[in-house]
Amino acid sequence: MKVLVPVKRVVDYNVKVRVKSDGTGVDIANVKMSMNPFDEIAVEEATRLKEAGKVTEVVAVSCGVTQCQETLRTAMAIGADRGILVESDAELQPLAVAKLLKALADKEQPQLIILGKQAIDDDCNQTGQMLAALLGWPQATFASKVTLEDGKATVTREVDGGLETVALQLPAIVTTDLRLNEPRYVTLPNIMKAKKKPLETVKPADLGVDVAPRVKTLKVAEPPKRSAGIKVPDVATLVGKLKNEAKVI
């Protein structure tokens, strides 16, 4: 069984994001970049399935600039067998990424695609669902547990009311949630081994995909700064302020 794991290069989650002065986007110059945390969980899960003998090959895929090779090498250090980079300097929106992944899925013929439920830079939470629609495959989002058995994937997913368990006929799409697993620490020997694993580079045109943006960002702005809180002497004063000043009751 082959598993495809899309991974995205994003601003590291420890970095405080700064908005450009002209409001056109986020400043990523000289900023530490890393793999999207949800995608890291997806790579870990695919690797665990391989170690359990359920999967034979794990293929990591990334779409974006040349530096995405570093993200793919990290995925291969975790446990992916090889990597594919769809290299493009264009702004890749969720629909474009889904179309690129569909083209790769048609080429690679995986039985399972595991990816993060969302990226921490745009928070779109769209790519997995769009990919499932384009491929016509069943999907399970926000997975907190994945089991493969007899050509089916049993997925426990988190919903507002608790947990829901669904059974999917393979091939299928699974998007990962935080509680699915805790990614392993990448050791230096595995980083060195990852440098020798094959990494293929293709262009969107090679896959016959138009990646032109469909959505235009008008302005990016930081959220307003929160005002300092105040202490109130009693409940009556609190209720009065909530009613008369905050006007929330």
21-45 pLDDT, tens digit each: 888 888 888 889 999 999 999 999 9
pLDDT tens digits for range 40-60: 999 999 999 999 999 999 999
DSSP 8-class letter at 2: E
CA distance 9 to 68: 6
Give SS3 for 146. strand
* Annotated domain spans of the chain: 2-222
Q: Six-digit token pair at 172?
A: 């299928």
H/E stretch holding 157: strand 152-159
Percent of the chain with pLDDT over 70: 100
- For 157, half-sphere exposure in the C-beta direction (CA atoms, 13 angstrom radius) is 19
Q: What is the mean predicted confidence (pLDDT) over 94-109?
A: 95
The phi and psi torsions of 62 (rounded to 5 degrees) equal -135, 145
What pLDDT shows up at residue 26? 85
Residue 247, pLDDT score = 84
Residue 184 pLDDT: 92
Omega within 30 of 0 (cis) for the link into 171: yes
Tell me the mean pLDDT in the region 86-101: 93
Task: Indicate the fold that domain 2-222 takes in CATH.
Answer: Rossmann fold (3.40.50)
Whether the predicted pLDDT of 152 surpasses 90 = yes
- 170: helix, strand or coil: coil
Question: What value does the mean pLDDT take over residues 218-234?
Answer: 86
CB atoms within 10 A of CB 13: 12
Those residues with Cβ within 8 angstroms of residue 243's Cβ, 6 or more apart along the chain or in another chain = 249
